[in-house]
Structure formats: structure tokens, C-alpha cells
Amino acid sequence: MNKNTLLAVVGISVIGLIVIAAISLKPNQLTTNEVVTQAPVPAKAVIVDPYQWTQQQKELLATLSLKSLPPLPPDPSNAAADNPAAAQFGHKLFFDKRFSSNGEVSCSTCHKPELIFTDGLARAKGVGVTPRKAMTLVGVAYSKWFFWDGRKDSMWSQALGPTESAVEHGGNRTQYAHIIDNDADYHAAYETLFGKFPDLSDAKRFPASAGPVSDPAASAGWKAMSEEDQDTINRIFSNMGKSIAAYERLLMPRPTRFDAYIDATLAGNLDEMKKQLTEAEAQGLQLFVGSAHCINCHNGPLLTNHSFHNTGVAPATDLPPDFGRREGVMTVMDDPFNCTGKYSDAGEDQCQHVRFARKEGLELLSAFKVPTLRNVAQTAPYMHSGQIATLTDVLNHYNVAALAVRGHSEASPLNLSPVDLQNLEAFLRTLSGPLATAPEFLAPPADLVQTESVKK
């Protein structure tokens, strides 16, 4: 063995020893070293492959697709709910400004089709200013409770509320009954749907202006009416609500890029997934269904569980205390137009949601209805009194999750990084798109009769 060969053998042995030593190092020693060399970074962005989903996650995603939206369940309390003629009549009532105290307010004043049936204001404005933010009406027919506090249990009964609110339409129910009576088109539409229109020609029995409202003259007029005549008016009034509800049942979202991404994910089509959502948007979706826990409340194809939760949104300081669902559930029980009342078409056993509604518990205190996130980028400002101006600020609210001023907040701090928050917002913006509703129902009816004060 010469000197060169000896050197080569020693060299190979040394390399071999190093290799053996490296292989025999336990994997956890390697990871420990890595962790030690990295300083802990607070609020580190959660980076995952945004196009990679486990089988379990795929099943979860499928539940969020509009393809999972079941057919609209019937509303047993409203016999006209799915009658197309009622929807057409309701469409007119929805846009008709004569149903107000000043001839200037209709439902569409605060629920504008071009703003996904909201109004762009923190607090809705009718004849006066309301304490709450106007809610979207898209997909609302899938709810069982209406308003931020759920103080109505059907859509037709909900529709009656704003018409008599002093700050919304500001009118009253005999006024509205007379408008329908005196408009030949409405009169005919009403009779086709609900049978003979009652004779309201006796002005002493049926004053021009009467109803259980805050206006003293109208209120006195209502109290002076016989119970039977009040009942006659109440029936016309509730049929008006039932027609408007039939129209609102047509307001539905259409699938967006988000739904197409889910389709592509379920089909295992990576190219298509990348075409539908950018990396940032898909990262946002990962957070939404994952560590940000949004899906706990914003779930199902409309991204709402249709229920009530307290998420610690700071109340507006210039408004009286808002107890949310705790008060709403009590109001609905006393409502003569609720599902169990005489103006409802439901049978005894068809109002389970009212009979078995939870009426007590700390979780009801300042709990508000979980809004749909479909088209959410188009419905700013946000929350029950429009307290939060932008989606960025909504996400900051969840990230910090301050304690509730009233009741107990279910939200806990997320500690997400600025990039995470941007990704979440990017994802929320993928939920917007045109509605599924036929275009003629997204504008005032062409043949709507308008008064002079409305035309200008």
C-alpha cells in the first residue's frame, strides 16, 4: 500500500464516519436546533399550500357552495308565499312610495337593489333616522327570524313593521288599505289573490288615517274603531305583508368565483382552482375555515347559521342600550302577527321555531343575527348599527376581540398577522357577484303608478 492509497483509504473512512454520524443523529435533535436558531415572531402569517385540502376539509368546503343550498322551504304561515301573482303585487308594493307619510319612502329607499338591498348608511334613513343598519334581503327567505334582534318570526310579519315605524315609512294601516282599495290595479290584484276586497267606503268606520302608531291622531282613530273593523283592516294589512314576502323570496345570490373554486377543488382540478382564486384569496379561505374560526357562525351556503351571537361589537355611544336578541325574542311572543296568531296561515304544529324559541340565557344579551357574507363587499358599513365602516376594520375587530360592553362575547383574539388579515379580506371579496334574481325584479316595476311628489 503506497502513501497515496493510504491517504485515500483514510479519507474515505473519515467521510464514511461523518455520513454515519449524520444519519444516526435523531431527527428531533435537528428540529430542536432549528427552533433554537429562530426567534419567536408574534402574529406570524399562517402559510399553508392554499390549494391543498384534506378530504375532511373538502367535505366542509362542499357545505359552503351555493350548490348545497336546498330548495327554499315553504312558509306555512303565508299561503301566498310562492304565488307568482303575489310576488308581482309585492314587487310593486316594495317600490311604491305612496305607502308612507310623506310620499317619499318605500322599502327600496333603504333596500336598494344596486347595493344588494342595503342603503350604504350606518343608520337607515326614512321619514326619520333609525338606530340600526339596513340589512341585505338577499337569501333572507332562508331565515326563520328577522331583524338584527329577531323580533319577527316571518317575512310577511316583518314587512309590516317598517310601514308603521315613525322613522321609516311613517304611515298607518287604514291609510294603506285605502290606497289598495282606490288603485284599480292593486284592487284587482288583491281580489285575485285574497278574495273580495272589504267595503271601506264608510269613512266613519274606516278613517283615512288610523293605526296603532305613535302619531296621536292616527292612534286615537284606531282606538275608536270596533274590534271587527280593526280585524278587517288587519287582514288587508297582513295580506300586504304576505305579498311583499312573496316578492322577497325571489331575491337570491348567484354562484361566484368562490363556488367555482369549490367545484374545482372537489373535482381535483388544480389549474381551475388557481384560475378561480388567487393564492392570497385561497389563503384567506384557509383561515376562514381554519384557525380564524369564522365558520363557527358564518357557515352553510349563505355563510350564516341564521342564529344570534354576541361578538363584542362596541355599541354606538349615542344610542340607548341595545339588548339584541334578549329583547327581540320577547317582542315576537307578544306580536299579534306572529306565526301562532290569527293572521297566520300556519297550523298549530307549524310554528315550532316560535313555540320552542330560547327565551332566556346570558348568551341572548346583546346577541345579534349573524349576517350572510354573500356580497358582503358591497354592503358597507357593517354591524347592527353600522359601527364598523370597512371590511378591514371588521377584521381588526375580530383580530383584537375586545370584551363585550354588554353580555359575553364569543369571539376570542386571533392574533393574525397583517398579511393574514389582507388574505382574509381578499377572500371575503370573492363572495360578490350579480344576483340570481330576474332583472325585472331588481328595478321598480315598469307600470308602477307614482304620485307627483315621487316623480320629481
Report the residue from 32, 33, 52, 296 that binds ligand HEC according to the rule CB under 6 A: 296
369: cell is: 343575527
Least distance from C-beta 417 to ligand HEC, angstroms? 13
Pick the closer one to ligand HEC by CB: 112 or 205. Answer: 112
Q: Does 251 engage in binding with ligand HEC (CB under 6 A)?
A: no
The span of 46-54, 79-87, 148-156, 346-354 binding ligand HEC (CB under 6 A) equals 148-156
The correct pick among 370, 431, 435, 448 for binding ligand HEC (CB under 6 A) is 370
Tell me how far, at minimum, the Cβ of 267 lies from ligand HEC, in Å: 26
Nearest distance, CB of residue 264 and ligand HEC, angstroms = 22
When binding is defined by CB under 6 A, the residue of 376, 404, 421, 435 that contacts ligand HEC is 376
In the complex with ligand HEC, the residue whose CB is nearer, 101 or 109, is 109
- Judged by CB under 6 A, the stretch of 199-207, 340-348, 369-377, 440-448 that binds ligand HEC is 369-377
Measured from the CB atom, the residue of 229 and 383 that comes closer to ligand HEC is 383
Among 101, 154, 158, 432, the residue binding ligand HEC under the rule CB under 6 A is 158
Indicate whether 134 belongs to the interface with ligand HEC (CB under 6 A).
yes
- Smallest distance, ligand HEC to C-beta of residue 253, A: 13
> Which of 107, 210, 250, 332 lies at the binding interface for ligand HEC (CB under 6 A)?
107
Choose which of 91, 92, 98, 111 interacts with ligand HEC (CB under 6 A): 111
Q: Which of 97, 298, 326, 374 binds ligand HEC (CB under 6 A)?
A: 298
Strands 308-309 and 368-369: antiparallel
Please tell me whether residue 371 binds ligand HEC under the rule CB under 6 A. Answer: yes
Q: Is residue 285 involved in binding ligand HEC (CB under 6 A)?
A: no
What CA–CA distance (Å, rounded) separates 152 from 158?
A: 5
Query: Is the CB of residue 374 less than 8 Å from the CB of residue 299?
Result: no
- Binder to ligand HEC among 92, 97, 98, 132 (CB under 6 A)? 132
Which residues form the interface with ligand HEC (CB under 6 A)?
105, 107, 109-111, 124-126, 130, 132-135, 137, 140, 143, 146-149, 155, 158-159, 162-163, 168-169, 244, 292-294, 296-298, 309, 311, 313, 368-371, 373, 376, 379, 382-384, 391, 394, 398, 410-411, 424
